[in-house]
Amino acid sequence: MDKRFQEQTIVVTGGGYGIGKAIALAFGREGGNVVLAARSKDKLHAVASQLEAMGTRPMVFPTDVSREEEVREMVVGTLARYEKIDVLVNNSGIAGPTAIARDVPAEDWNETIAINLSGAFYCAKHVSAAMIARGSGNIVNISSIAGRIGYALRTPYAASKWGMIGLSHSLAAELGPFGIRVNAVLPGSTQGDRLDRVMAARAAKEGKAFEEVRNWYVKDIPMQRMVSEEEVAETVLFLASDAASGMTGQAVSVCGGFCMR
């Protein structure tokens, strides 16, 4: 049986853990050669070892996506090895501070926007040039359900994720004539260490027990559970595949129905 991404080149930023790791491994299982780009070098090598065991040819490229020159070097290095980039998944991101907006230091705001939003812009800017030259490509931006709602105590994060949706829509309009599709995936509450840390920070800020905060995150989800990292990854693969050939400029929620509230 043919694999959906056999010998395609897929760049996944933030691919060392969590949703990014799940996305990288999902592409690997479908035959893709995954370029792992993030700051967490040791974690990237661990994921690369798993990808090699699948018979693919991964590449680790330590990259701070908030620095445009490092992004440019990552893209140049990827093209030097694989000669093409078929898919870009902009997943790098940080949670940012848990605080009311008036208490957020400027440096925390700037760091969150720089990594979550500017990093995605830099990657799309440099990767799209190679995609335009080939007349094809896919960009999937990992936003968040926080890009559709107001999110008290998480203003920098929410603002960056709203920005990711606008970035996706604008890039889809610009790049569509060149055969390049751009979509966004909006995970809701997703099981994993990262959300556990976010909930712990909120519990500490509000003086509540961890389980009380966790129940707050789940109570308005119609499916009455959090989604898994693998469920998010499968949506990314669908949007990057030929099965979604008619889709661009879309913001697809993977949230257990929370977005209906």
Residue 195: its H or E element = helix 193-206
Q: Which two tokens stand for residue 213?
A: 């905060």
d(C-alpha 43, C-alpha 127), whole Å: 23
> Per-residue DSSP letters for 135-169?
T-EEEEEE--GGGTS--TTBHHHHHHHHHHHHHHH
Distances (CA, A) of 173 to 96, 178, 259: 29, 10, 25
Q: Are 232 and 190 in contact (CB under 8 A)?
A: yes
Handedness of CA 76, 79, 81, 86 (dihedral sign): positive
d(C-alpha 227, C-alpha 48), whole Å: 25
**CA nearest neighbour of 159 among 216, 229, 104, 239:** 104
d(C-alpha 236, C-alpha 252), whole Å: 9
Q: Is 217 a catalytic residue?
A: no
Catalytic residue among 17, 82, 122, 157: 157
Please count the other Cβ atoms lying within 10 Å of the Cβ belonging to residue 101.
Answer: 13
Sheet with 87-90, edge to edge strand ranges: 59-62, 33-38, 9-13, 87-90, 137-142, 180-187, 251-254
- Catalytically active residues are 157
